Structure formats: structure tokens, C-alpha cells
Chain A
Amino acid sequence: AQKITQTQPGMFVQEKEAVTLDCTYDTSDQSYGLFWYKQPSSGEMIFLIYQGSYDEQNATEGRYSLNFQKARKSANLVISASQLGDSAMYFCAMREGGKGGFKTIFGAGTRLFVKA
């Protein structure tokens, strides 16, 4: 079963507009962490934002904010004032504990295209 679901393979957004990238997750753990990463064409993975399962407030980092809805098990990424440099692949990820220790599982990703 999919643990991290990103239903948008590709998204287009106009420069300077805001965009929301969807992510839903599935876990039975009470304690877990949710991450968003950006992967440009160069391949590097860039950490954007983190939300802990016990955090009551939504995480924000500059133009990035995470819309955390625990009951719905969703952790959508909102990018405000999109820039051309935001065009990249975006991955939602979840860290949860297990027998072998903590593991991070990645969603399939959403490719974001920012139009001038």
C-alpha cells in the first residue's frame, strides 16, 4: 500500500502566483515527521520544510508553507509568489519508526513548471 501519495504528476503555475502541491500519507505511528524536498534537474535533493506530527502550527519557511491536516493525513506544500527557479521535481516524504529504526519514505513526486 502506498504510504505517501502525490496525486499530481505535473503542475503548471504562472510566475508570481501561489501553488499547492498535494500530499497524503498513511501511518499508524503517533510520532512521525513530514518533509518536502525539491529536486532540480541537477539531481540534488534540497530540503524545504519539515512538520512534526505533534506540531500544532503549520510549518513555514520563507515562501514555503506546509498545510498540515492531521485528521485528513495530508501535508500539502504551498509555494507563494512562484519564481521561474521553482521549476523542479518536488517530493513529499515521511519519516516513521519501525523495527529497523527510522525510515524515510518518498512519494512519487510532482513536477512543477513555472511559466513566465
Chain B
Amino acid sequence: GAVVSQHPSRVICKSGTSVKIECRSLDFQATTMFWYRQFPKKSLMLMATSNEGSKATYEQGVEKDKFLINHASLTLSTLTVTSAHPEDSSFYICSADTVNYGYTFGSGTRLTVV
């Protein structure tokens, strides 16, 4: 079946540093990848939609310069949290639309900024 591999699963970084999160589609080509953020005990909030070979589309209120998204190939999309601060600590998860009707999600990245 369609698998999206997301790394790292957990990361702790110092305030002011940048963190890159990768999502790879392992057995299918993902022209579109969605990036979500989830606060504890809350729902998933769509941050941006990344399209292979073009600029990402960000949702209202999401800072483009803080959350850099790159979708350089049909199998890889990355989210870089730049100059991270403690308020950026969250669970980040990506998903891709497969050939079938379901979305496949990565396993998520728990980011803690100290």
C-alpha cells in the first residue's frame, strides 16, 4: 500500500535553530503533499499545501518565512522550521493524496524547542 515515511519522529532543538522535517512517498509519486500542525489534544490544522515543482500554498495566518516548504521531487517534501522558538513546539504531520481516495499520513514529528 501507499506509505509516507516521515523523519525525524522526535526532535529537540535549541531556540533560534532551524529544524528540517522530511516526508517521502515510498511507493508512489506524490505531486501534492499537505502539512499539518497539531497541538496537544487538538485537531489537525492545515498549514500549507506543497506541489512538486512549484511554490507551496500557505493557509491564512501561517508564516511563510518561518515554515519553509520545499517539494523538489515527486517523492520528497520538506518542512523547515526556521529560527524555532518554544511556541513552535508541536506535532507536525504530512499527508499525501494517493491514487485511491484516501490520504496517507506520515507518522508525525514531535518538535520540542527548548
Contacts and interface: CB of A to CB of B under 8 A. Distances in A.
B110 A43 contact: yes
B108 A43 contact: yes
Contacts, number: 49
Interface residues of A, number: 22
Contacts of B105: 37, 44-47
A35 B100 CA distance: 13
Given A100-B57, A101-B49, A108-B43, A47 B102 contact: yes
Count class of interface residues, chain B: 20 to 34
A68 interface: no
A35 B95 CA distance: 14
A107 B43 contact: yes
A27 interface: no
The binding surface of chain A is classed by DSSP as: strand
A50 B57 CA distance: 25
A101 B95 CA distance: 15
B100 to A, nearest CB: 8
B22 to A, nearest CB: 16
24 contacts: A33-B101, A35-B102, A42-B107, A43-B38, A43-B108, A44-B105, A44-B107, A45-B93, A47-B102, A47-B105, A52-B101, A91-B44, A100-B49, A101-B32, A101-B49, A101-B57, A103-B46, A104-B46, A104-B95, A104-B103, A107-B43, A108-B42, A108-B43, A109-B43
Interface of A: 33, 35, 37, 42-47, 50, 52, 91, 100-109
The list of the 6 closest CB pairs from A to B, nearest first, reads A45-B105, A43-B108, A47-B102, A106-B44, A106-B43, A50-B101
